[in-house]
Amino acid sequence: MLKTILKTFGSKVGIALFTFANLIITSQTLGAEGRGFISIFVASMTFIILINGLVGSSAIVYLTPRTNFYKLLLPSYLWAIFSNCLCVYLIHIAPNFINPWIENPIYHITPIPNEYLWALWTFALLSTLTHLHLMVALGKQQIQFYNILAFLQIGLLTLSLSIFLLILKQYTVDSFIYSMYITHGMTFLASFYILYVQPEKIELRKIKVAIKAVVHYGVIDQLSNIIQFLNSRSSYYFLLYYVGQKDIGVFSATVTLSEAVFLVTRSIAMVQYSKVSNTKQSDKNIDLTLQLFKINGMLLIVCTTFLCLTPPIVFEWVFGKDFSQISDTLKYIAVSTVMVGCYSIINHYFSGIGKFQYNVYATLLGLIVTVFGCYFLIPNYGIKGAGITVSIANTVLFIYILIAFKRQSKLEWKEFLTLKFN
């Protein structure tokens, strides 16, 4: 398992470097205003992808070892197409219903310009279908396919952005849109190889049972992901409403930097989820999760501390003068970074054993805190208020999931604190 984690970590390091390069390229060429547009666009796209994943998504990892995966993919495909159309349409008409209630036109909502709605629809759907194929690979414990495709996707985006922004010098957000077309189109086509190499044949008998399972587990599991997304990204929309798109660019750049420390967490959690989903021995799953939780927690604290101690001038030099606030903002979201990383390990344990409800309850608590915090803190403190809010919300989220895991595993508190690994 350690070998698999290290391979996954190597892939994640490459992905992080490409992500960091993309952040630098777009920040330097498009500024905070351009980064703000990209952040809102990607956040909206991610939300649609999460809705598309209500049927299937991560539940496919849990169900693939237990049933023919083609029975899982068919209802997932159909739902994805339907929900993708519905979500983009609602985004299109939302300002018509919301803006009449807002007296000051300065605060009128225009999250995604109409000329980019087709791109939003295309990217969200292709990304959803690609993700479904990747979930099959994880369910089969073929993590190498996941790593290769994820690496290919971010690498293509970096290459495309470099061509449009650095070589052709097309300093508009259209360069980002063109790059996304190339990236998502090619990775979607490549993802079909995952299905091609599987020994299973298309089998649709008793598909009603499979549909019921994929809907049941998919909705519960994905609901927690949707709520967690709102918990982590709703601050963008509050900032857009109260402050402006430029500040979103700065805050989103800070969040992207802080999430770079999740390299270790995501590498561990991916392998853990695949292992737990395919292991029926409860004691082994609990022991594995506890050990990975400890390792992950210590590494998160070290990496986050290092990031917070980086001199402000470094961020301004790397990203441009528009991003001078990154250093201060990092300190406000440092607690959030550690809490979310630690939560992720326990979250994947509950998903792996099919008890998704604990993840839903945890993220729902975090979202409640987020909404209240954004409403009261962002109007007065702006970016700092957003940072404080996410740190408080994710601390509440983590405390709940930790207590739930302790009760489920019947472990003692001292077993979480000891540095002795079994």
Give the pLDDT confidence of 342-363 residue by residue, as tens digits: 999 998 888 888 787 888 899 8
Look up the domain containing 131 and give its range.
Answer: 2-417
422 part of a folded domain: no
pLDDT greater than 80 at residue 34: yes
User: By percentage, how much of the chain surpasses pLDDT 70?
Assistant: 91
Mean pLDDT, the chain, rounded, equals: 84
Residue 242 has a pLDDT of 80
Is the pLDDT at 2 greater than 60, yes or no?
no
Q: What is the mean pLDDT of residues 238-249?
A: 80
Query: Could you tell me the pLDDT band of residue 417, with boundaries at 50, 70 and 90?
Result: confident
- Between CA 281 and CA 287, with CA 283 as vertex, the angle to 5 degrees is 125
**Confidence label for 281 from pLDDT (cuts 50, 70 and 90):** confident
Summarised one tens digit per residue, pLDDT across range 140-192 is 777 778 788 888 888 999 999 999 999 999 999 999 999 999 999 999 998 88
Residue 129 has pLDDT above 90, yes or no: yes
Q: Which two tokens stand for residue 4?
A: 């698999």
First and final C-alpha spacing in the chain: 15
Q: Of the ranges 44-58, 191-205, 282-296, which one carries the lowest mean pLDDT score? A: 191-205
Closest Cα to residue 135, out of 212, 55, 203?
Answer: 55
- Give the residue-averaged pLDDT of 266-283: 77
Which of these ranges, 16-30, 49-63, 303-317, has the smallest mean pLDDT? 49-63
Confidence (pLDDT) at 416: 84
Instruction: Identify the band that residue 219 occupies on the pLDDT scale cut at 50, 70 and 90.
Output: confident
pLDDT digits (tens, 9 = 90+) for 203-217: 777 778 777 877 777
> Rounded CA gap, 27 and 35, in Å?
6
**Residue 353 pLDDT:** 81
Residue 271: pLDDT band by 50, 70, 90 thresholds?
confident
Check residue 419 and give its pLDDT: 63
The per-residue pLDDT for range 372-414, each reduced to its tens digit, is 999 899 888 889 999 999 999 999 999 999 999 999 888 888 8
Q: What is the pLDDT of residue 112?
A: 79
7 has pLDDT over 70: no
The better pLDDT of the pair 9, 232 is held by 232
Domains identified in the chain, total number: 1
Give CA–CA dist 253/112, Å, rounded: 19
pLDDT digits (tens, 9 = 90+) for 40-82: 899 889 999 999 988 877 777 777 777 777 788 888 889 999 9
Reported as a pLDDT band with limits 50, 70 and 90, residue 6 is low
pLDDT at 273: 74
Q: What percent of the chain has pLDDT over 90?
A: 28
Give the residue from 275, 257, 233 showing the smallest Cα distance to 386. 233
| Per-residue pLDDT at 8 exceeds 90 | no
